[in-house]
Chain A
């Protein structure tokens, strides 16, 4: 069993996932923030790989990526951060989330090989749906890296089946038609869609929900209807608001994560 599967099986509570952009404000602080997240109750970390043209991201994450790119954060730096994190933490799953071009540039094989060596457990490529991923997904499988896909309110049932059949680790359900940082409005329809996903045969994939979760109340409601919640923009916002005081940045991330953690329900 890999770290992602273990987390979903062994956890008492629903799974709490945090997303931050690697290299914002700098790679040293990213490692510190990752450790803080784990100490505050985060179960799985999605580490954003910066890319110049993040078409699925709203202004908060775009600006974070721009700050990171100003410091020339490369995939090698991302692996460096993963290594440093893994040196102390052997259990928390680490998922790289980003866009395809930097991975293509490095080469799928080389990317996968270094990712495994750096303790990466899963990869989510936002702009590479299953239709375009056959080569990448074969390589990831070869290296036993989980291949995580998105599903959204516009995903048809037949595509859902394809997505589920090619996913492993978990399914990332995008809560709304929109970009990161938007706000959830309709929890009822999210519940209906998750129920539909769960009914697809041979589906034992955990389904977690991301996009638009910002407060305790939403986190609680989403945790009731899914296997986990993902919070991204809210963490990134705390980073943005405390760029000149890294201690306060880390403290506020801790406080916010603890608050969300308490609202997430048991399994």
Chain B
């Protein structure tokens, strides 16, 4: 097979060719450059890496295992399904990989206050957890609609000592929580560090979050070889902002492997009620970077729909836009209904309750497992589904 060599990006201005960049108001240019400098100096030092590795091992529980799902593999055909168990991280999702890294960085930068936005609440919980451990004040912005559908995580954040601020503007979801966090940051740039929860936002966030999440892919590569003596043929991950996906994909980009990102198809791409900018959007500027977005004919950002709060976002990390255009990664979508079916399927047959976000990746992987012969399919099981049981119960009219 041909060897693929992609350039190392972003460049020094934060661009992935035409995507990415720093599209922010003047006041934020300073803290972004300060962050970039600190990241290059501190986070790349041996001392920082050692400390982070220790925390990820002893506190978070890394490395997470890769589990061979034998029952469903057999049932689906001749392919083999492997699950990278990010759900087994402390707090239940990949989000903590980034939160730990950034809280340690913020500490080193002498910041005394941390803010974050959250959709599903997983990033909020991860950030609140790291802040509790390191004794830093934590404020989390969350859309009112998401507060309603992810109540358990709201309560967890509060228990952890974070202040959760409901956001009632716009569509009352992740996009608006991000707006509000940016507004807070502009007003408190001196003492506050903003931890974005995905590979979205202005440079250097897409790079920083990717680097902290890449541990998923690095571990996976080693584990597939050492434990299973195999190579993955296909990688599959769900894409909201795109952090769990890029975390798995990035170390494999120059390898001979097929890579698939799964967006939220909502009620179906043709209905317009989805959250699939890479499938149905076009390039534009949102939240500090140029990337594929969902916009109307006047350039206004459209409201999105997904059963999963963590995928319910009209933009996507700029690196994914680049990987779409250069065709290295294929981006597909899965509807609410298909995701739900996969949620039940994995739960009932493997005893693993996945997050609704993750269920999108599962649904697509199950589809191709039926079609392909003898392929090793590695899925990023980005998070566990405890936070979603309320939503599921309501849908099945079950009372808890």
Quick one: closest B residue to A57, CB to CB?
B183
Contacts of A102 in B (CB 8 A): 298-300
**Known contacts A152-B26, A155-B30; is-contact A132 B21 (Cβ 8 Å):** yes
Which of A36-44, A175-183, A256-264 sits within the interface? A175-183
Partner-contacting stretch, out of A122-130, A189-197, A232-240: A122-130
A56, B25: Cβ atoms under 8 Å? yes
The smallest C-beta distance from B387 to any residue of chain A, in angstroms, reads 26
Q: Which 9 A-B pairs have the closest CB atoms?
A: A105-B299, A102-B299, A154-B30, A150-B26, A178-B187, A74-B298, A56-B25, A152-B27, A52-B301
Looking at the complex, which one of B26, B169, B189, B285 makes contact with A62 (CB distance below 8 Å)? B169
Known A55-B179, A177-B27; judge A75-B187 contact (CB<8 A): no
Is there an interface contact between A53 and B301, defined as CB atoms closer than 8 Å? yes
Question: Mask for A142-154, Cβ within 8 A of B = 1, else 0?
Answer: 0000000111111
The residues of B that contact A74 with a CB separation of less than 8 Å are 298
| Interface flag for B350 (CB, 8 Å) | no
Main SS at interface, chain B: mixed
- A103: chain B residues at CB < 8 Å are 299
- A264 to B258 Cα, complex, angstroms: 66
0/1 interface trace, chain A 70-109, chain B, CB 8 Å (1 if under): 0010110000000000000000000000011111111000
Decide if B189 touches A106 in the complex (CB within 8 Å): no
Q: Is the CB of A178 within 8 A of B29?
A: no
Within 8 A of A (CB), among B205-219: none
Supply 14 A–B pairs (Cβ within 8 Å), ascending by A.
A51-B300, A53-B179, A55-B24, A55-B25, A58-B183, A101-B293, A101-B301, A128-B285, A131-B13, A152-B26, A153-B27, A177-B188, A177-B189, A182-B187
A136-180 CB contact bits vs B (8 Å, 1 = yes)? 000000000000011111111001000100000000001001110
**Shortest Cβ distance from B166 into chain A, in angstroms?**
14
State in angstroms the CA–CA spacing of A160 and B293 once bound together. Answer: 31
Number of residues in A with C-beta < 8 Å to the partner? 44
Closest approach, in angstroms, between the C-beta of A236 and any C-beta of chain B? 15
Tell me if B295 counts as interface (CB < 8 A to partner A).
yes
Shortest Cβ distance from residue B35 to the other chain A in the assembled complex, whole angstroms: 13
Q: Is the C-beta of B288 less than 8 angstroms from some C-beta in chain A? A: yes
Tell me if B111 is interfacial: C-beta within 8 Å of chain A: no
Interface membership of B156, Cβ < 8 A: no
Distance to closest chain B CB from A12 (angstroms): 30
Judge whether B255 is part of the interface by a CB distance below 8 angstroms.
no
Q: How far apart are the CA atoms of A236 and B285 in the complex, in Å?
A: 26
Any B CB within 8 A of the CB of A69: yes
Query: Given A51-B299, A151-B26, A154-B31, list of 5 further CB < 8 A pairs?
Result: A104-B285, A154-B30, A156-B30, A163-B26, A174-B26
- List chain B residues, Cβ under 8 A from A127: 23-25, 285, 288
B284 CB–A CB distance under 8 Å: yes
Q: Is A66 an interface residue (CB 8 A)?
A: yes
Which residues from A are CB-within-8-Å of B30?
Answer: 152, 154-156
A211 to chain B, nearest CB (A): 10
Interface centre among A57, A58, A104, A182 (most CB of B within 10 A): A104
CB of B341, distance to nearest CB on chain A (Å): 33
**With contact pairs A102-B298, A131-B13 given, residues A53 and B175 touching in the complex (Cβ less than 8 Å):** yes
Residue of A nearest to B171 (CB): A52
Chain B residues, Cβ within 8 Å of A99? 285
Query: How far apart sit A159 and B182, CA to CA, in the bound complex (Å)?
Result: 21
Nearest-neighbour CB distance to chain A for B30, whole angstroms, equals 4
Judge whether A154 and B29 touch: CB under 8 Å. Answer: yes
Is A149 within 8 A of B179, CB to CB?
Answer: no
CA distance A150 to B288 in the complex (A): 16
Tell yes or no: B386 within 8 A of A by CB. Answer: no
Q: Within residues 170 to 187 of chain B, which ones have a CB less than 8 A from any CB in chain A?
A: 170, 175-176, 179, 182-183, 186-187
